[in-house]
Amino acid sequence: MSDLIRSTAAELAAKIAAREVSAVEVAQAHLDRIAEVDGSVHAFLHVDAEGALAAARRVDDDVAAGREVGPLAGVPLALKDVFATEGIPTTCGSKMLEGWVPPYDATVTRRLREAGVVILGKTNMDEFAMGSSTENSAYGPTRNPWDLDRIPGGSGGGSSASLAAFEAPLAIGTDTGGSIRQPGAVTGTVGVKPTYGGVSRYGLVAFSSSLDQGGPCARTVLDAALLHEVIGGYDPMDSTSINAPVPPVVAAVREGVTGDLSGVRVGVVTQFSGDGYQPGVLRSFEAAVAQLKQLGAEVVEVSCPSFDYALPAYYLIAPSEASSNLARFDAMRYGARHGDDGTRSAEEVMAITRDRGFGAEVKRRIMIGTYALSSGYYDAYYGSAQKVRTLITRDFEQAFGRVDVLVSPTTPTTAFKIGERADDPMAMYKADLCTIPANLAGTPAMSVPSGLSDEDGLPVGLQIMAPALQEHRMYRVAAAYEAARGTVLASVPELAGAR
């Protein structure tokens, strides 16, 4: 594998700016890598080689002309196929949007282009971001580069797998209940969910509007921070966007790599342990906590009792909002149209289209959400779930009154085998047990690799959570931890397609 493929985003950007290598060379190396291994991994749904090389040439022209370029100019990136991209298909992993080419860019897409980031293509995902394994994609599953028989997490498994397979040094995901962090944990990569409203949702196809949040995915904490600062910030096109400066996450990483966490109080969430947690994951987490102590952090136990109700609350709120958001895909306003042979009524065409266009998991959640919002059940289900959400937010507020950050395992287990939980929705949903509370509260959280499980040799993630708009706290802790223990991707097995 070439040095260009293994280099970090920060290293590549520095080499491109110094004219040690061209952005075109970097882009071509990654396109070649995709051609070499993606037949095995299936991280991408669409590769835009022509567009990527054209974007790289523009960066090279700017560098040659002495024009100032951004900190990630010329660096390739894999974009989750839930963001609108002008001139490039956007499917959300669904047959309902098959063939749709948006006439506009999402704000995240636009900011990437303006920063000179080279978009390689669109990555695979669970349909409409509903899933924890990327098995729910209408275009087939993505495979974990650590073990091609295992899942890469979900819903953003394509983005995380592209990083672990060295197909891209950067990626973008979305996190509604853990869909950035959980894939990061099971692929040995870094995934960050910013504060809700910290990254624009304009042009992000909605699943659950009060929970969805785009964020950076990378192989190092510094690369994630650099990408965070590119895509973050206020956007008047998004009514939920926060009009506040992006937290100083890159500066926090620079501070963290010194390895000194003296004065930092770390809270261990007691609810995230016990039954259902793989012993190897818990041992890895305990080792991570011990490492934070060695770096000077003060570690205390913190109880957040309402977290025990986060999973059921989430699976009422998210499906309810999904049933509303996906109502627009009805063959009349948006999406595909099936069964319109001139003899059927509009209602019949709608029914046929939604039956053929949506997969089983999307249908399941639409039905759950529609039921939860129905007359006579709204207060008992959706209303009660929102009350639980308030209690979870209060638990976070009380915890952050005592500590600077909270930590937990990112996922209860390592990557499971493809098909293993396909017939057990509850087992699938429990993959997000640790990640959901931060979505319900809107607070930032990230997953950083914490080594390999001593049971199966697969990656484990350490979750770090911070108060709203305090992302720099978790980035500092993550950078210190990463500097102390190193990355895990050096030991990823060689892919069969690359031999």
User: Cα(86)–Cα(480) distance, rounded to whole angstroms?
Assistant: 39
Provide the b/e sequence for 70-82 (b: ≥16 CB within 10 Å): bbbbbbbbbbbbb
Of residues 15, 80, 122, 193, which has the active-site annotation?
80
CA dist 454 and 458 (Å) reads: 8
**Is 453 in the active site?**
no
Secondary structure (3-state) at 357: helix
The amino acid at residue 409 is P
80 is annotated as an active-site residue: yes
Of the candidates 179, 208, 241, 306, the residue annotated as catalytic is 179
Q: Strand, coil or helix: what is 84?
A: coil
Name every residue whose Cβ is closer than 8 Å to that of residue 103 and which is 6 or more positions away in sequence.
Answer: 86
Q: Is the peptide bond before 323 cis (omega within 30 degrees of 0)?
A: no
Buried b (16+ CB within 10 A) or exposed e, 306-322: bbebbbebbbbbbbbbb
Catalytic status, residue 2: no
Q: Residue-wise over 208-221: b if at least 16 C-beta within 10 A, else e?
A: bebbbbbbbbbbbb
Per annotation, catalytic residue among 94, 137, 155, 241: 155
Extended beta strands in 15-65, E state: 44-47
In this structure, the number of other CB atoms found within 10 A of the CB of residue 104 comes to 13
The owner of tokens 């289900």 is: 381
CB atoms within 10 A of CB 347: 9
- Inter-residue contact 184 to 460 (CB < 8 Å): no
Strands (E) in 328-454, as ranges, are 405-409, 445-452
Q: Would you say 384 and 370 are in contact if contact means Cβ atoms under 8 Å apart?
A: no
Helix spans in 442-488 (H): 471-485
Work out the number of other CB atoms within 10 angstroms of the CB of residue 198.
25
Query: Whose structure tokens read 């506040």?
Result: 244
Angstrom distance (rounded) from CA 205 to CA 196: 16
- DSSP-derived 3-state class of residue 119: strand
Active site residues per annotation: 80, 155, 179
